[in-house]
Structure 1
Amino acid sequence: MQETELKLELAQAGASLLLKENPFACTPTIRRQRSVYYDTQEWDLSQRGLSLCIRQCGNERTQIVKSGDGSAAEALTREEWALPVAEDTPVLDNPQIQAQLAGTADRLAPLFEVRVKRHRWSITEGDATIDVAMDVGKVVAADREAQLCEIVLERKTGSPTALFALTRKLNLITPASIGVLTKADRGYRLIGPARGAVKASVTPLAADMNAATAFARLASACLKQFRLNEMVLSWSRDTEALHQARVALRRLRSLFSICKPLFTDSRFDHLRDELRWLASELGDARNIDVMIKSTTSEELLRCLQEARSDAYGAAGAALSSVRARALMIDLAEWISIRDWRSDEAGKALLAQPARQFASRILDKLWKKVAKGGSNLIDLDDETRHEVRITAKKLRYAAEFFGPLYESKQETKRHKRFIVAMGGLQDHLGSLNDLATAPDMLSKLQLSEVADTEPFSADDKEKLLHAAAEAHDIFVDTKRFWR
């Protein structure tokens, strides 16, 4: 069966506040639960996008198998198979799950446990009936453990928009962030290597997908990448995590721009503007990090490190703001509900094959980069920056839609195309750093600090010729979608 749910992350103080205020206007049931998660030593189930646990509550045990990555923004539904069991031993002969678990029966072993105190309410929100479960506890694996505090809103009847309406009410009482980690995810992260910055990964797309489904899946992946890096930044001023958080926002903004023909509702422009705002709030910290890597002046380095501390403080304040949390909730709802078009022509556009839509977009962007960068050396900084932005969109579009082009020849061409795009982007990025560094130094009131040569235009001619050469390589590289 399918479950329709939305996961929220809370601080433990927030959970205590919700219990004190009890906005659900009814008394919760309280149970303690212990869930033992099973997998092979090679994590076969995790690699298949599955989790298997046996949950004990009192004297009752239930085996639960779930599919999906827990990314609430992509789709509110996940497949779930529940089966009463007598003991802590997986039962694998259920016809509903045999195919999913094939080849693992003799190798399954307990890897970690989740122990929580669960408060549960059943409430009415608008036209919907919603089960609310707040879990406070920990994930335990051998001698390691991690705290857990989350709320899961599960829609039983009515519109899924009620889940987001309730989320906004809770967020007014205590900070509530869209959750992108399942309990299984938390366990695997606990027993695996320490996690830092999270880079974008390939999002699986199927040839029979329509444009709307492809967009929702890609947007969800961007949102998940951002939230994972935001979590790292909540406890560490990690340079790469900040960079990858900005990359995730930039990828999502580019996806919005690339797929703009799919949307007509007024929320599109607002969400894109809010994404621009949040990315800009992280911009100073990222620019300072880039300059710190380049400077050889001890005095300038000291000044930049002081400025970095202030910039990261401002970035942290933005990320934890009401505005940023509201943006994540709005995005998750907009991506998952998918009510972007109401007219028949618009619905037909959403339903068109994703590959057909992607090929048209890739062609359009390729022509703009090929033409706009044909004379890179003689362009002014502003025009060259516009070429850089378009090239970035093309690179992202190629990464987004690459899985739709599956033949052996298309796969080879895709790899070569990404390499060519990467070379062009690197050179255009270096030129942009040269162009923007003086303004950044001026903003930080560091223009007069000695030895600022690393941010001068001394290397500009060399970079310009390298960029022009990279553009020639890009134009000569075969397009994988044609």
Structure 2
Amino acid sequence: MGAGLRRRVAAGGGQRSHRHPGQAPGGGAAPGRGEELSPASPVERCQVDLPVGTAFRLRQLRWGRTATTRIERFETIHWDTSDFRLAAWDAGLRYRRGRGWRVTLAGWPEAGCFRSISVDLDGGPAAPPREALRLLSGYLGDARPEPAARLRHLESRRAVEELGCVHQVVSLLVDRRAVAHARRVSLRGGEELTGTRRALAALRRLGVVETTTQPLLTELVGPAAAPQWRELQLDPTSTVAATVTAALRDYSARLVRNQALLLEGSDPEGIHQARVACRRFRSALQTFGPVLDHAWAEALRAELGSLAADLGAVRDAEVLLMRLRASAADRGLEPEATERLLGRLEEDRARAREGLLRRTGTPEHREQLERTLEAAAHPGLLPEAADQPAVEVLMPLVAGSWRKLRRRATGLGDHPADDELHRLRILTKRCRYAVLALVPVLGEGPARTGALLGALQDALGDQHDAVVAGDWLRQFAAGETAFAAGILYGVERERAEAGREAWRVPWAKLRRRKQWGWA
């Protein structure tokens, strides 16, 4: 998930989020913005964990100008299902007396560190707030969490500039007795973890070298609480089954993780990335169709198409709103005139979001997510293809996607129509998704090509967005909104015309033979 998910956070870095009273299940309507937005703002955190021995002391660590060491002792109760569904997703739900509830919406390892996005909610220890259960519903399904582990923490903390250094000794308690211990040093920051180079060098001088992304809960409880939905590792010898499974697992995991951010609601990227996950999944089913059971793939494509449409209704309205508001501000339009024009679009977006939220709260949607995850974990592969080398079998399918794109692009005249460019954009997107599915197998080659396809997709996407915006604005060419609509329509037509040529720059780079040397 990486960089994409990093954009789906509110400002605030590593500071504590605003907290809002929550309610236990069955306690009536959720407070505040509960049905539309989570009552708390999400916070992104990034940390590097290093295991240490019993002899390690934080005072031995020397680097930078350090603040006073603070020592804290506290207990946390981690809630999960009996089969540790939250832990399987690197999500979490924990209670700390005096601090309330922390809901980890998503977590993932990235380049040696571990990133997480969480929301803090108030509430007593008897039961999780209703809002917490709503946000985690994509992970939990119909299961209910219960107390799964009680942990005792002894933490020594120092701060060097924006980097926090924490030595933690964490014990698993059973009947108030410590039965397992974990000892770590954590370097902690906000969205961007800076200043780690000197800190890691100082730790190396003390013999602390190895980092870990294994969750504390896994270390203490055991494999039952291990993450199950991290990326699978592939290489050039991987089979068709391993490669297709890894791709579909990745897309389904993105869909489920982004549902938590979609439900939290403060950043539109949650909806955008959930929609992208649906599109990638459906595109993979089409690209890899020759090695899949046809009926299985088509049924899954149709089911995901319905969800993608509901996500798209919200996302398209949000994109159009952001685009037109920015254009209105650039042209100095009066805010009142802008809001009169965009009021109906706001209503459309609100209705679409309400419909999407209703859908995500239904048993049918939860069952759909379960079916999608099951399909990703055990795809309907043709037996004769499953154990074949991915490079030999899937590479020609990707090459076929590229040939379709190349034929379409080279067949366009000097003045392509808007619908021709839109079709080219769709083929570009499909080709890009197919290429990216081979990145875990082949590495840098398809990654570079995928980046160039992304640049072409962006250029064509901007042209298409301008066309869509112009079509929407034409509805308001009369009456009190006519002036504002006319100004913005002119802006969008200029952008659409410019876009007819702008796409040729990334296309010229993409079509060079050397960009496809790996294929």
Tell me if 1:393 matches 2:430: yes
* Structure 2 counterparts to residues 317-336 of structure 1, below 5 A: 317-336=358-377
Number of equivalent positions: 334
Corresponding position of 2:488? 454
Gaps in structure 1 of 5+ consecutive residues = 1-10, 15-39, 46-51, 53-87, 91-109, 121-130, 150-173, 196-200
1:289 positional shift: 1.6
Question: What per-residue deviation string (whole Å, max 9, x for no partner) do you get for residues 378-421 of structure 1?
Answer: 43333332221111011112222113224xxxx2x445423321
Q: TM-score, normalised by structure 1?
A: 0.58
For the aligned residue pairs, the C-alpha RMSD in angstroms reads 4.4
Q: TM-score, normalised by structure 2?
A: 0.54
Question: What per-residue deviation string (whole Å, max 9, x for no partner) do you get for residues 182-203 of structure 1?
Answer: 999xx99xx87479xxxxx986
Secondary structure, in 3 states, of the residue corresponding to 1:42? strand
Alignment counterpart, residue 459 of structure 2, candidates 427, 432, 436: 427
C-alpha distance in 2 between matches for 1:259 and 1:233: 29
Letter in 2 for 1:383: E
Question: What per-residue deviation string (whole Å, max 9, x for no partner) do you get for residues 336-381 of structure 1?
Answer: 234x25xxxx312121112223321221111111110112644333
1:424 positional shift: 1.0
C-alpha distance in 1 between matches for 2:430 and 2:456: 13
CA separation of 1:302/1:265 partners in 2, compared to 1, >3 Å: closer, same or farther?
closer
Tell me if 1:115 matches 2:115: no
Secondary structure, in 3 states, of the residue corresponding to 1:386? helix
1:277 positional shift: 0.8
User: Does the Cα contact within 8 Å between 1:388 and 1:425 map onto a contact in 2?
Assistant: yes
User: Does the Cα contact within 8 Å between 2:259 and 2:270 map onto a contact in 1?
Assistant: yes
Corresponding position of 1:307? 348
C-alpha distance in 1 between matches for 2:501 and 2:279: 27
Larger deviation: 461-470 or 301-310?
301-310
User: Does the Cα contact within 8 Å between 1:230 and 1:241 map onto a contact in 2?
Assistant: yes
CA separation of 1:380/1:148 partners in 2, compared to 1, >3 Å: closer, same or farther?
closer
User: Does the Cα contact within 8 Å between 1:111 and 1:141 map onto a contact in 2?
Assistant: no
Tell me if 1:472 matches 2:508: yes
Secondary structure, in 3 states, of the residue corresponding to 1:43? strand
Corresponding position of 1:138? 94
User: Does the Cα contact within 8 Å between 2:240 and 2:390 map onto a contact in 1?
Assistant: yes
1:279 positional shift: 0.9
C-alpha distance in 1 between matches for 2:396 and 2:94: 48
* Structure 2 counterparts to residues 11-410 of structure 1, below 5 A: 13=25, 42-44=48-50, 115-116=77-78, 138-140=94-96, 143=99, 145-146=101-102, 177-179=138-140, 193=190, 204-264=233-293, 266-295=295-324, 296=328, 298=338, 299-338=340-379, 340-341=380-381, 346-374=382-410, 375=412, 377-406=414-443
Secondary structure, in 3 states, of the residue corresponding to 1:478? helix
User: Does the Cα contact within 8 Å between 2:252 and 2:376 map onto a contact in 1?
Assistant: no
C-alpha distance in 2 between matches for 1:239 and 1:326: 25
C-alpha distance in 1 between matches for 2:306 and 2:86: 32
User: Does the Cα contact within 8 Å between 1:438 and 1:447 map onto a contact in 2?
Assistant: no
Gaps in structure 2 of 5+ consecutive residues = 1-22, 27-45, 56-71, 106-133, 150-169, 171-183, 193-229
C-alpha distance in 1 between matches for 2:236 and 2:365: 35
Question: What per-residue deviation string (whole Å, max 9, x for no partner) do you get for residues 282-310 of structure 1?
Answer: 22221122122222151324443343322
Percent sequence identity is 22
